[in-house]
Structure 1
Amino acid sequence: MTTTLKNETLKNEQAISNNPATENDAVVFGVGRDEATWQPRSEHELAIERIDEALDLIAEANSVAAGKIPVTRFDVTVIVPVFNEIRTIERVIRRIEKVMPPATEIIIVDDGSTDGTTEWLQSLPHSASRQIICRRANHGKGSAVRLAIRHSQGRVVAIQDADMEYDPADLLRVIWPILDGDADATYGSRYLNGWDDSSVVHRLGNWMLTSLSNCLTGLQLTDMETCHKAFDGDLIRSMELRECRFGFEPEITAKIAAGHYELIEVPTGYQARSYKEGKKIGWRDAVSALACMWRYRKG
């Protein structure tokens, strides 16, 4: 072992002495490379190489944004579950396309709409970065999200409702920690942004569900029921999810906690709508969420 190390040291010293670089031209040596093909490179050469790589990435992003080349990989998948949202679905899709990075795919799951949403979606022109899946019957939000996850390709998978209670621009805050490698999952909390729910019943119900979820999972969330959630793509695609309706929220939260994955919260905006305006979650879903928390308390 000692003889080998001495021989390697002598080879390195010989390479340094034979290198024509000046004192001001620092030499960078590779590690674990084939000595027959290895060549030392200066800091200047490495800087030029990094600049060339950056310019290539910028050129590719610009070409994708301009529609000159197809997207071959996606940084983000935005899932949009839809049920009878003819009044808002167009604004949501246009907003997502406007604010999201170029390498974003949108997966819209129409969950048996009967108000014209299905026909409008089917009339949209083809787009390589948009998938539209239409169901004949309504199976629930959780089921629609699960279906879209199976079709997703993004490094990050995020969820956006189709009713404009949440602005897709705020979803950028949610996906960014995962793209940067700072989290495995991110929740956009309405309460971190100082939102004051005008409905006492809704505020009390959300507090109760979040508090109970925290007790069972050991997390310290402020808004477990938020729509704006994002996950590492490979992680969420590897999970076995079962819930078909709003039980998806406590189920995924419990499984993230049980797996000891890094989950953080960031602020997100919220504009609540009334039941007359189409709000769908109700007290039966709250009862179901309680049952789901107990069922998935261990993951």
Structure 2
Amino acid sequence: MIPSSLRIAVLLPCFNEAAAVAAVVADFSKALPGATIYVYDNNSTDRTAELARAAGAEVRSERRQGKGHVVRRMFADIDADIYVLADGDATYDATSAPRLIARLVEDHLDMVVGLRVDQAEAAYRKGHRTGNWMLTQFLSSVFGQAFKDILSGYRVFSRRFVKSFPVLSDGFEIETELTVHALELALPVAEIETPYYARPEGSFSKLNTWRDGFRIFGTILKLYRSEKPLRFFTAIGAFLALVAIGLAIPIFITYLEQGIVPRLPTAVLSTGLMIVAMLSISSGLVLDTVTRGRREMKLLAYLSQPPPKSD
């Protein structure tokens, strides 16, 4: 049951979605009668903004291209108790929104992710499905198992989450960043299966399997480096140290047997690699302390927001 006193905002980032946006606005308006529908137009060259406004949405714009920029602007501008984030391409099921919100409210969660269950072969391209699985497995191994679909764009948030989340991504890596933020602060989250549909005729995906896949993978590595610096730099240091030891063993054996160092450049290289390995591990120790302080600041920003309404 969703309390009627809660202010619900539906956030729809859109770029050239004229073929779908009117239907999406209408579906969410029907599913959530008391919610305010916001369409953020991201430099569309078609009639997206016009059709969204005619359908009853409040239309705003973000000139910097990229979904990350749009979400940053949305989270900064909109004040609500519950936020529903979905793409404006008619692939997500609006009728599932009350279920997601009810789970968020009843269990006092900060984020509920719509686990996509494709309803048609064309809804989820094989390359995207494989890439999503690989990235999800990698993220789980780094930050712990919590989600089955880290790239889902269908999410419901508490005000606490939205107003304490530092959006750093520019593009489609935003979903990965949202997931890592929740995992790092050990926020209460859940995942609920929702239908995932093929795009309507005339609507085209802006995702590129390889380009955006590499960008998301790069984002995970950056987040791993910034959130787990001790592990990251210790792994690099350990690898360099092993290489240095491998190069040094033959030289050391020759020195013990003959009393000479026949390969001086190799000896210098081995010494240099070992020095870099120690520096890498030392950097990890220092950055781990900095990261702990930054994580505490994020948690304080989260706790500074009032808790969700209980009525």
TM-score range, shorter chain: 0.5 to 0.7
Q: Give yes or no for contact 1:171–1:228 (8 Å, CA) kept in 2.
A: no
TM-score (norm 2): 0.65
User: Is the alpha carbon distance of 1:242 and 1:198 closer, same or farther for their aligned partners in structure 2, counting shifts above 3 Å?
Assistant: closer
TM-score (norm 1): 0.67
- Which ranges of structure 2 fall in alignment gaps of 5 or more residues? 228-294, 296-311
Match of 2:142 in 1: 216
d(CA) in 2 for partners of 1:178 and 1:288? Answer: 30
1:175 matched to 2:101? The reply is yes
Q: Give yes or no for contact 1:171–1:268 (8 Å, CA) kept in 2.
A: no
d(CA) in 2 for partners of 1:123 and 1:200? Answer: 36
Deviation of 1:88 (Å): 0.7
Q: Tell me, what secondary structure is at the counterpart of 1:120?
A: helix
- Structure number with greater CO (CA < 8 Å, separation at least 6) is 2
How does 1:215-254 map onto structure 2 within 5 Å? Answer: 215-254=141-180
d(CA) in 1 for partners of 2:217 and 2:201? Answer: 22
User: Is the alpha carbon distance of 1:290 and 1:247 closer, same or farther for their aligned partners in structure 2, counting shifts above 3 Å?
Assistant: same
User: Is the alpha carbon distance of 1:194 and 1:288 closer, same or farther for their aligned partners in structure 2, counting shifts above 3 Å?
Assistant: same
Higher helix share: 2
Which deviates the most, 204-213 or 113-122? Answer: 113-122
User: Is the alpha carbon distance of 1:277 and 1:82 closer, same or farther for their aligned partners in structure 2, counting shifts above 3 Å?
Assistant: closer
* 1:80 alignment partner AA: L
Aligned-residue CA RMSD in angstroms? 2.7
How does 1:129-144 map onto structure 2 within 5 Å? Answer: 130-135=57-62, 137=63, 139-144=65-70
Alignment length, in residue pairs? 223
* 2:45 alignment partner AA: T
User: Is the alpha carbon distance of 1:274 and 1:287 closer, same or farther for their aligned partners in structure 2, counting shifts above 3 Å?
Assistant: farther
Deviation of 1:171 (Å): 2.2
1:286 matched to 2:203? The reply is no
Q: Give yes or no for contact 1:84–1:115 (8 Å, CA) kept in 2.
A: yes
Q: Give yes or no for contact 1:186–1:265 (8 Å, CA) kept in 2.
A: yes
- Which ranges of structure 1 fall in alignment gaps of 5 or more residues? 1-57, 62-72
Q: Tell me, what secondary structure is at the counterpart of 1:296?
A: helix
Match of 1:94 in 2: 26
Deviations 1:183-214 (A, max 9, x none): 211111024x8987763322211111111111
User: Is the alpha carbon distance of 1:195 and 1:89 closer, same or farther for their aligned partners in structure 2, counting shifts above 3 Å?
Assistant: closer
Deviations 1:40-79 (A, max 9, x none): xxxxxxxxxxxxxxxxxx9xx6xxxxxxxxxxx6432111
Q: Give yes or no for contact 2:82–2:158 (8 Å, CA) kept in 1.
A: yes
Q: Tell me, what secondary structure is at the counterpart of 1:119?
A: helix
Q: Tell me, what secondary structure is at the counterpart of 1:188?
A: strand
d(CA) in 2 for partners of 1:76 and 1:171? Answer: 11
How does 1:180-191 map onto structure 2 within 5 Å? Answer: 180-191=106-117
Match of 1:263 in 2: 189
d(CA) in 1 for partners of 2:162 and 2:211? Answer: 27
d(CA) in 2 for partners of 1:118 and 1:212? Answer: 38
